[in-house]
Structure 1
Amino acid sequence: MKQAEVLAKLQEVFDGIFLEKVAAKPELSAADVEEWDSLMQISLVIAVEQKFRVRFRVGEVETARNLGEFADLIAKRMEP
């Protein structure tokens, strides 16, 4: 799965979690979204794991500096 495909699916997750519209762009980070705090981060990771049927190791998600890197991590986890 390519980054653009992952970002499209992430947009669906964002639409279901955030109250305000947040565009899932590669350069987006938590610092860009007022509503995105530590509790929201946990909710997002759980929703992403369910949506993509992947599991992340402790600390793995925190290495991503922006949504593009997170999308690449998701794509990597989906590889057979």
Structure 2
Amino acid sequence: MQQTEIYEKLTPLFHDILDDDTIVLTPTLTADDVPEWDSFNHINLIVAVESHFKIKFQTAELEGLHTVGHLADLIEKKLAAQGR
């Protein structure tokens, strides 16, 4: 799956969980850029991403996520490892 497809699938998840349809996902977007993106919603986002993409993150992997770009890269890596 290519990055553009990943962003297309991530966008509605972010809109739904953060209850803000105006969010535009970019590789440099961080939780600091979105007022609704607090620690509770961060957990909800991770769970939703795992469920939607049918992948699991390790704790160490999550510690390295600082931007949406990092998240998209990790999703792409996980999907590639599964042959998707």
Taking structure 1 as the reference length, the TM-score comes to 0.91
RMSD in angstroms over aligned alpha carbons?
1.1
- What is the rounded CA distance, in whole Å, between the counterparts of 2:48 and 2:41 in structure 1? 10
Structure 1 match to 2:24? 23
- What is the rounded CA distance, in whole Å, between the counterparts of 2:70 and 2:43 in structure 1? 17
Q: How many residues align?
A: 80
Structure 2 match to 1:35? 36
User: Secondary structure at the residue paired with 1:39?
Assistant: helix
Post-superposition Cα deviations, 1:38-79, rounded to whole Å, max 9, x if no partner, equal 101100000000110000001312202210111010010111
The one-letter amino acid of 1:10's match is L
Give runs of ≥4 in structure 1 deviating > 2 Å.
none
Alignment of 1:70 with 2:46, yes or no, is: no
Structure 2 gaps, min length 5: none
**Aligned-pair distance for 1:36?**
0.6
Taking structure 2 as the reference length, the TM-score comes to 0.87
Alignment of 1:49 with 2:73, yes or no, is: no
